[in-house]
Amino acid sequence: MTELLTAAQMRAIEQAAIESGEVTGLELMERAGKGVVEAIFEEWPELQKAPHRAVVLCGPGNNGGDGFVVARLLKDWGWEVEVFLYGDAEKLPPDARVNYERWGALGEVGQFADSISLLVKPPPLGPLVVVDAIFGTGLRRAIPEDIGVVVQEVNIHRFKKIVVAVDVPSGLCSDSGAILRKDGSVLDSLPYPNEIVGAYLTIPFQWAKVGLHLKHGSKFSGKLATYDIGIAYGPRPSGGGEAPARGDGRGLSGVPPGETVKLIEAPSNVLKLGDHKYSHGHALILSGGPGKTGAARLAARGALRIGAGLTTIACPRNALSEIAAQITALMVRSLDGPPGLTELLEDARLNALCLGPGLGLGADTQALVLAALKAKRGTVLDADALTRFERNPEVLFDALHENCVLTPHAGEFKRLFPDIAEKLAEPATTGPAFSKVDATRQAAARAGCTVLFKGPDTVIADPDGRCAINSSAYDRAAPWLATAGSGDVLAGFITGLLARGFAPMQAAETAAWLHTECALSFGPGLIAEDLPEELPKVFRTLL
């Protein structure tokens, strides 16, 4: 998996690299500027044929310093480049000031507001490329009004030009994906032309920032092109020698272990199989009564397709014929309330349970959940199994154990964790804003088990603070996944992996990634029934 960092973590890593003598701040700035230019040429190869025209908008910090490097390198390439600075050049950080002076040997630096006269002109009179180097990861407040006037012109006229963001689009909280707003109001529509730069291409340095994969991040970043600026992962060995290779699992220099967020990528172990069906476990899916069995059947089909050796649906006696008429490879048996579930779970081979999809909100649902939790098996709680505890979530939390996975969507999360959800819904006026990562970590700590907080930016956390994001954005955007029943299938995927022996966090991460991949594989027109049937095709791509 790939690490995603907060602004503070990135600063700590850069500082550790500089203090170790591995690199200087000026060298990092030079590499960053080079990365932006290389990313532009890789994305639009035709731009390598000079001349073209660019406007580089530089801010008062090191992000602005990166912008001066970009301007100089494009100028060296033969481009016509005009640079505008927001703020006082005398107050620039030392490294940014050096690059300001280097640019000064090649061209002038204009007043920020004067850029508007160029931004409103279409190419070739105006710029073909606009480089946003105003605010980077260090943004702590809403864009000031005098910057917002320029940002509005960038956004309104960007259909005539290419907008490239350095590290993150200006206006975005790099930790939360929120758009920082001065008036404290909640955003309810898009776009916001004077509050955030809308980029076609965003170039994060070394590691993408968490906020690029949360909330509004993907809406304004365009395409991501992460650029390696050569910072080692871990500290150098005490006796000298080479720094640890990237991806060796030793952690990041300057960042405490376990505090980074992982971006979920293709699983490497999902196709490992045993020698007979019982070595793949036995999943038990509980269903509601007649007319309410569809959700459980979707979950059961998902569990079976993802590799559970056996899958049984347990339902009220009067729903037996409805379920049996529509399944083949799945098994079905009657269940007479909580005492019947307790008796059924005397069979130790039933090693993974799923409760919630179509289960209903009656008193029996709460009793069934509590009976299931006493068995201490791998347990997925979704939908009705979560909503039923809205009035008394502490009863659920007291019964949960480390082998559980909760899979709430935003509404269910609010019912179980109202205080955490309230913080998440608060307007973002200063950064870093409270994020979905923060919310999910707090929820997992309170529940004492793994929590999968659903959405296009699905966040998964366990009680130890480990956290991962399954991003259904950028090249993995699958808006057709928002269809009735898709969450039931996801619950089934997790249950099937628990049955196969996956740890709860691992099961949730793997299932979420496969869930998105199935949607991408099928494409528009998807309905929930298609997801399990798409799994074999996805598995073949992993061979």
* Distance from C-alpha of 460 to C-alpha of 466, rounded to nearest angstrom: 8
The percent of residues in the chain predicted with pLDDT above 70, rounded, is: 92
The confidence score (pLDDT) of residue 256 equals 62
pLDDT at residue 257 is higher than 80: no
* Distance from C-alpha of 470 to C-alpha of 454, rounded to nearest angstrom: 9
Element (H, E) at 338: helix 337-344
Give the residue among 245, 167, 248 at the shortest CA–CA distance from 212: 167
Q: Helix (H, G, I), strand (E, B), or coil: what is residue 87?
A: coil
* Distance from C-alpha of 274 to C-alpha of 282, rounded to nearest angstrom: 13
The confidence score (pLDDT) of residue 534 equals 98
* Distance from C-alpha of 462 to C-alpha of 449, rounded to nearest angstrom: 6
pLDDT at residue 471 is higher than 80: yes
pLDDT at residue 189 is higher than 80: no
| Averaged pLDDT, 367-373 | 98
Position 42 confidence tier, pLDDT thresholds 50, 70, 90: very high
The confidence score (pLDDT) of residue 290 equals 94
The confidence score (pLDDT) of residue 277 equals 61
pLDDT at residue 48 is higher than 70: yes
Over the chain, what is the mean pLDDT?
Answer: 92
Position 229 confidence tier, pLDDT thresholds 50, 70, 90: very high
| Averaged pLDDT, 283-306 | 96
**Partners of residue 450 on adjacent β-strands:** 405
Give the residue among 355, 335, 337 at the shortest CA–CA distance from 286: 355
- Structure tokens given for 198: 């809308």
**418-470: per-residue pLDDT in tens?**
999 999 999 888 889 999 999 999 999 999 999 999 999 999 999 999 999 99
pLDDT at residue 113 is higher than 90: yes
The confidence score (pLDDT) of residue 242 equals 38
Beta-carbon-side half-sphere exposure of residue 221 (alpha carbons within 13 Å): 31
8 Å CB contact between 222 and 196: no
**160-176: per-residue pLDDT in tens?**
899 999 999 999 999 99
- Domains, the chain, ranges and CATH? 2-182+193-236 (3.40.50.10260), 277-425+432-542 (3.40.1190.20)
Angle at CA of residue 400, ends 394 and 406, nearest 5°: 95
pLDDT at residue 238 is higher than 60: no
Position 188 confidence tier, pLDDT thresholds 50, 70, 90: low
pLDDT at residue 58 is higher than 70: yes
* Distance from C-alpha of 191 to C-alpha of 197, rounded to nearest angstrom: 10
pTM of the model: 0.93
The confidence score (pLDDT) of residue 268 equals 82
The confidence score (pLDDT) of residue 431 equals 85
